[in-house]
Each structure stands twice: as structure tokens, then as C-alpha cells.
Amino acid sequence: MDYRTKLCFCRDIYDQRASDRTFMEAVRRNVDCHLLKCKDYRRILGSRGFSRSDGQRVMNAGEVPCIPTLFFKYHDLYSVPEASMVIKATSSGTGGVKSRIGFDKKSLFFAGVAAGRVIARHGLFSVRPVHYVILGFPPGKENQTAISRTQRLSTMFAPALSRKYALRKGKHGYRPDFNGLLEALRRYGRGNAPVRIIGFPAYLYFLLKEMERNRIFIRLPKHSMIMAGGGWKQFYKETVDKRELYRLGERHLGIPESHFREFFGAVEHPGVYCDCPNHHFHIPVTSRVVIRDVDTLEPVGYGTTGLVNLISPLVESMPLVSILTDDLGVLHRGCECGCGIEAPYLEIIGRTGVPEIRTCAAGAEEVLKEAGRSALR
């Protein structure tokens, strides 16, 4: 039996206490796999005084040396031949600064099972057909970003009656189709089929603000939903309180707060985090999160802000077992939430603002500005 099987098929996807021993065994075996198969990973960990014997003895996920996501934007780090990877994706960026991530069949399978169980736990799978509105780029050969693939996969949670993308390609690249988007939303509002709106919180916010400026009110059918993901990226200065998003969503689209779902993740990490009814990102059994001091990188305790270190042993194609993001976050005890899930939850505070790090929302600023201009024509 593969060491990842027991972890992915555990009884409760959020029961970390029952899975601690299984998780750490999977981490040890995953680290050992990469140390054997990836000489660059072996060299990186060796430079930190970490050997195979150390990896076989780790008792805490925070003991595994983490690799910054920025490293993957400049270096390929593979533990299997590229030819054996069945799917590849990149993070978005400018100037060629992108992470290139690949999954072999087994890694893709286990990552998919883990994600599917989280999504099912939060009731996002449905047999009721829906219309999808995607606040992003349509799929295409020139667009192989992970966020584009993720958004496409999100339209498979329920049968798709239609897919409307907010951006369309013209002679001069992608441009927002704000009027077409509003026309589609109005049309959906006159029907009975629910609508699921998918996109970055920033995209959603700017759309709703344009609707507010132009006093546009649409009431979408019952069971409609907003599924936001990807964070605010370089728009962190424009970040608004989630309650403002909920207010605007209900006022202008008729979607209540209870039908708002947010996701968190990173292209370099196989885990998926979906917020609970209290809008907290609880950590599933297939992952752990360590918060590290921004100066020393030493782990800090609950309630302290630091860099988010994501840990998961599900991928064997690349050493993604422990990656250090440029997100700032706080880890809280599960009992502080009140939703009934006892696993700790992650609160995202913002980003470090390192100028070299380009995100999946790169280039979105001009697109959103154009959307604003289009709305007023």
C-alpha cells in the first residue's frame, strides 16, 4: 500500500489528532523519496546540515527544511523525469518569472482525492445544473497557469449549463467583457438555474463596486454561490473586510453570506483550503501549517503573525513537501472558531510585498482598470 493512501482515505478529513502519526510517517517517507531521487534537493538540505538520517527521524513537520516559493520561480526541481509528468502548470508572472510545477499520475491522484474530500465536506458538489461565471481568463494553449486550471476544475463541482468568462481575447490581447458579463448575469437572473461566480476576491470586489457606482442590481436564483480564491495578490493595499464583500454580494447579486466560499492555496503546494461557515481556513489531515518568524524563520506559536510554511507529503514528482510562501498569516486553535471543526485554522494577514515575487494576478490591474472604463461607456 502506498504510504499516502491511509492519509488521504482517513475517516475524517479534519481529524488531525487521529492522523498525526500517519501524517508524520508520510512526511518522513516523502522526504526520503526526494533525497534519494533529486540531487539538487539533497544538496539544498545538505547545505542546511540535514541528511537522510535526519529525515528519517523527524517527529515534527516544522523540522523539515522549507524551500521558498521564489526558488521554484527560477529553478526546476524534479524528482522524476519530466516525461513521466501527466500534468504541468505554471504560476502567472511577468518577465518570465514563473514556477513550473508537474505531477506524476500517483501524485495527481492523491492530491485530487485530498482536494475532493475537502470540497465534499463543505457541500460544494451538487447534481443541480448551474451557470458559471468565471472572473478570469478562458482556457487556451497560451494560458497554462494553475489558477486557470483550478477555475476550470471548479466548474465541474456541479453540471455546467454554461460558462461565461469575464475576459475575452481580441486582436490586442485579453480585454474585459463587462457589458457581456452583465448581460449574462441579467439573463441568468430571469431564469431558475443557480449561478456560481468564480474568481479572485479583487476581481469580484471591483466588479461589485462598478455595479454599485452604476446602481446595477441583479437578483440571482436561489442556491447561487460565490467561490473566491487566490487572495488579493498585488492588490493587498485595496483589501477590504470580508464583510464588505458579503454586503456587496447580497446587495447587488442577491447572494447571501452563507453562500460565499473562499479558497486558499499555492501552485507549489498540493493542498486545498476551503473556508468553513465562519470563514476560517481549517487545515485538513493531508497538510500542516507552520508559522515562521519573518527574521529568524523559527516556528512561532498560535496567535503570532509570521510567514506561512505549507507542508504536505502528497507529491513525489517534485520536492514540494515543505514550502515557504510570501504570505503572512496566523495559526489559531480550532476551538476558537466555533464551527465544530477542531483542526487548527489559518488566518491570512497579507503578503510580504517582495517586489521580485510576481503572482497569479499579475497584469490584472490594467484589466480591471479597463473593466471600470468599459462599465461607464
> Grid coordinates 504536505 are at which residue?
312
Query: Which CATH number is 5-82+280-351 given?
Result: 2.30.38.10
Query: 284, 271 in Cβ contact below 8 A?
Result: yes
For range 138-150, the mean pLDDT? 67
Q: What is residue 152's predicted lDDT score, i.e. its pLDDT? A: 81
DSSP 234: G
For range 224-253, the mean pLDDT? 83
The DSSP line for 239-261 is ---HHHHHHHHHHHH---GGGEE
Where are the CATH 3.40.50 domain residues in the chain?
A: 117-265+361-375
Residue 45 binned pLDDT confidence (cut-offs 50, 70, 90): very high
For range 288-298, the mean pLDDT? 96
Query: 270, 114 in Cβ contact below 8 A?
Result: yes
Where are the CATH 2.30.38.10 domain residues in the chain?
A: 5-82+280-351
pTM of the complete model beyond 0.95: no
CATH class of 117-265+361-375: alpha beta
The gap from C-alpha 177 to its chain's centroid, in whole angstroms, comes to: 25
| SS3 of residue 160 by DSSP | strand
Q: What is residue 90's predicted lDDT score, i.e. its pLDDT? A: 72
Q: Of 128-142, 245-259, 339-353, where does the model show the most confidence?
A: 245-259
Percent of the chain scoring above 90 in pLDDT: 69
Higher pLDDT, 254 or 359: 254
> Grid coordinates 506559536 are at which residue?
301
Q: What is residue 232's predicted lDDT score, i.e. its pLDDT? A: 65
For range 225-248, the mean pLDDT? 80
Compute and round to an integer the Cα radius of gyration of the chain: 21
Higher pLDDT, 146 or 303: 303
**How many residues would you count in the chain?**
377
The DSSP line for 55-104 is HTT--SGGGSPPEEHHHHTT----SS-GGG-SEEEE---STT---EEEE-
